[in-house]
Amino acid sequence: MSVDPQEFLRQLFATAFAALDALVVTEPTRTNVNDLRAILIFDSASQGRTAHDA
């Protein structure tokens, strides 16, 4: 399998290393260093509105 690093970089395709059997997969560390989880919750009254509409 041919891997074009420039193309994968352009597409931000981080799992390209899997094709080379060199992918590093990490798990959450449960510390406050580089673990980010974001949840976006909308209520039914604000659906379809943007911040500029408020």
The whole-angstrom separation of Cα 15 and Cα 3 is 11
Question: What pTM value is reported for the model?
Answer: 0.33
Give exposure, 10-41, as e/b (b: 16+ Cβ within 10 Å).
eeeeeebeeeeeeeeeeeeeeeeeeeeeeeee
Residue 1 above 70 pLDDT?
no
Number of other residues whose CB lies within 10 A of the CB of residue 8: 15
pLDDT at site 16: 76
pLDDT at site 34: 66
> pLDDT tens digits, residue range 13-41?
777 778 778 787 778 777 766 666 778 87
